[in-house]
Amino acid sequence: MLDYLRAKVVDYDVALQWVFQELDRLTGDSPHSALIARLKARAATAEGLRRQLQTIVGIRLPRLLRRALPIIHDIELATLELTSFYLPGLQKETARELALRDVLLGAAQRCGLTWVDDIVVRLDGELACVSSVVESPVIFAPPHIHRLPWELAGLYHELGSQRLSSSATDRG
């Protein structure tokens, strides 16, 4: 178990360094400055957990080893969100995606989704919405979604599911 934990510490160190490097590279004149700041905070939290894991490995107390797996889970979730959802969308953002982002942000505000202050649009998958950073969901859609007005209904559905999931969390 200890060798596994040591390997995870090194793995997360490399992954999180890359995440910070990419977020710094994106910081420039991006229209997503508030989102990038939130993503940096998410990565900093994961880095803090990585340091906790490193401490647990260094101490080698059996009681503490039980705490390692939940820490690994939290780091895995953060790195998945950052490296699979947000960063790819921000790194490869096209003019079409930015234009669709503007349409969806306007629609979100008109529909009462006042907590949504940014949207990352990825025209590279099936219709879906990931909102691990609630204020800034990632909306996935097929590349052709913007061609016909009635295809936008699916995107509005994804915004609606964002509203329902956020309302459910608001109710506690």
Percent of the chain with pLDDT over 70: 82
Mean pLDDT, to the nearest integer, of 119-138? 78
Is-contact 74 46, C-beta < 8 A?
yes
Instruction: Say whether pLDDT at 82 is over 90.
Output: yes
Mean pLDDT, to the nearest integer, of 133-162? 68
**Residues 1-15: pLDDT tens digits?**
888 889 999 999 999
What pLDDT score does 87 carry?
93
Give me the residue spans of the domains in the chain.
2-91, 95-171
Is-contact 93 84, C-beta < 8 A?
no
| pLDDT bracket for residue 150 (50, 70, 90) | low
- Cβ neighbours of residue 151 under 8 Å, at least 6 residues apart? 144, 145
